[in-house]
Structure 1
Amino acid sequence: MRRPFACFLITTLPLVALPVTGLLAPPAAAQMMVYDPANHAQNILQAVRALQELEGQVQQLAHEIQMLENMARNLETMPVSVAESIIGQRILQIEAVLRRARGIGYSMADIERAFEAAYPEDYGAATPGAVLVEDARARWRQSRDAFRETLEISAAALAGNEDDAGAVRRLVTESHNAAGALQAAQAGNELAAMTTQQLMQIEAMLAAQHRAVALEEARRLAEETRGRARLQSFLGSGD
């Protein structure tokens, strides 16, 4: 009875072991993953370089944007002109007073003719006394009008000093707070224009004053000539 069981066990043992061996064997399609430290480090270095290049491009774009913003500020103009209306109005006002000049005015074409007529170099002995008196009155009126016009021009020049001072203060503030180079240049130009206006006003006042003084001096000389003519007329009539 023992021998047949032993034979049966030996006979069946290989049959049981075969499936176990087949299960433990690795599949033919499986592949092993190999870690390469050098390749991994190279990949990291390339990524860092790409990131640095991208950061440099971002900084360059930021600089270009800042430059464009600065250019836009430099090209920004002043919202309004501070001095334009003041300068134009003041100069026109003074010109209107100059154009109203009576007698001998400021026209180069008319001065010589009008001066010779009002202030003759000599009177003839036969000049009537009434003509001498009328000429003297005309010259007196011219001198009087010239001094009055001098006062009018001075008043017109000084009438807006408070406005001029306010405009200058505002322009200085605009220049100080200018957003860019163009606004600062415009404020400086308007300050220069205000200075030019002041110089033109001074020029007009000096011209009016010199005109009044010249007419008064001419009147004095004409009166001397008139006195000699009257004396000659009186002496002639006495003979």
Structure 2
Amino acid sequence: MSRTHSAHLLALASATALLASAPADALIVYDPTNYASNVLQAARALEQINNQIRSLQNQATSLLNEGRNLASLPFSSLQALEAQVQQTRTLLTQAERLAYDVRQIDQAFSSRYGTVSASTSNAALVEGARDRWETSVAAFKEALKVQAGVVGNLDGTHSILNALLSRSQSATGALQAAQAGNQLVALQIRQVVDMTAVMAAASRAQAIEAARGATAEAEGRARFARFVKRGPRG
């Protein structure tokens, strides 16, 4: 037997003796069934963790969307619109001589317009005609002022409209879109108010002028009746 072969046998015997003397729990035993069960449990645990992560991500996305939907529109045109409406109302309340008041109009038509007595003096007829003419002039002047005020609102209307359209297109949530839409509706209502004011002022001026013309005809008939009653002078 060679020396090398003898050394190999000696090493093998030593290893066998060490294994025989080692404690039982120091031995490593591979169990395929147990390994497969552990891998399956780890995979299931990982899947649960991934599901929890996805659930948290969905909740975070939902909260972000709710925050966007509840975010208020960082622009308000209501104050400017209210100021423009108030300006138009102020122009209407500045009506001279004959205001937008049912009682005043009724009294004016009872005293200054309508029938004319044939016994009214010439001086009174002239004074009444002058008063009615001045009232008509004032009414047309006020109608022009209202129209000028409404035209002056056009630049502000254009600026507000552009701002609202820009905000509505860039709205990040339902609340911002709704608020932008409401302000656009308010802008349209203000335009309707302006047009109503213009029509009211113009119609008022035309009505006063028509009343003045009718009263002038009544004065003419009264003067003619007085002339016929007195007869021509020789």
User: What range is the shorter-chain TM-score in?
Assistant: 0.7 to 0.9
Note if 1:58 corresponds to 2:53: yes
Q: Which residue of 1 aligns with 2:219?
A: 226
Note if 1:48 corresponds to 2:51: no
**Shift in alpha-carbon separation, 1:193–1:24, aligned structure 2, 3 A:** closer
User: Equivalent residue of 1:217, what SS?
Assistant: helix
Note if 1:187 corresponds to 2:189: no
Map Cα deviations across residues 141-198 of structure 1 (whole Å, 9 max, x no partner). 1111111111000000011312211111111111111121211211111111111111
1:131 maps to a residue whose letter is: A
User: Equivalent residue of 1:160, what SS?
Assistant: helix
Gaps of 5+ in 2: 1-16
Q: Which residue of 1 aligns with 2:86?
A: 92
1:118–1:135 CA contact under 8 A, matched in 2 = yes
1:86–1:164 CA contact under 8 A, matched in 2 = no
Structure 1 vs Structure 2 CA RMSD: 2.0
2:106 and 2:42 map into 1 onto residues whose CA distance is 93
1:199 maps to a residue whose letter is: V
**Shift in alpha-carbon separation, 1:174–1:26, aligned structure 2, 3 A:** same
Find the partner of 2:104 among 107, 110, 118.
110
1:28 is displaced (CA, Å) by 9.6
**Shift in alpha-carbon separation, 1:234–1:52, aligned structure 2, 3 A:** same
**Shift in alpha-carbon separation, 1:54–1:233, aligned structure 2, 3 A:** same
1:94–1:156 CA contact under 8 A, matched in 2 = yes
1:85 and 1:25 map into 2 onto residues whose CA distance is 94
Note if 1:199 corresponds to 2:192: yes
1:157 and 1:216 map into 2 onto residues whose CA distance is 23
2:112 maps to a residue whose letter is: A
2:47 maps to a residue whose letter is: Q
1:150–1:208 CA contact under 8 A, matched in 2 = yes
User: Which runs of structure 2 are paired with 1:1-239 in the superposition (5 Å)?
Assistant: 26=20, 30-31=24-25, 33-81=28-76, 83-120=77-114, 122-238=115-231
Aligned length: 215
Higher deviation after alignment, 205-214 or 178-187: 178-187
Identical amino acids, percent of aligned pairs: 38
Gaps of 5+ in 1: 1-22
2:18 and 2:43 map into 1 onto residues whose CA distance is 45
**Shift in alpha-carbon separation, 1:187–1:28, aligned structure 2, 3 A:** closer
Q: Which residue of 2 aligns with 1:19?
A: none
**Shift in alpha-carbon separation, 1:227–1:28, aligned structure 2, 3 A:** closer
Map Cα deviations across residues 195-219 of structure 1 (whole Å, 9 max, x no partner). 1111110110001111111111111
2:18 and 2:78 map into 1 onto residues whose CA distance is 102
**Shift in alpha-carbon separation, 1:49–1:232, aligned structure 2, 3 A:** same
1:232 is displaced (CA, Å) by 1.7
Normalized against structure 2, the TM-score is what?
0.85
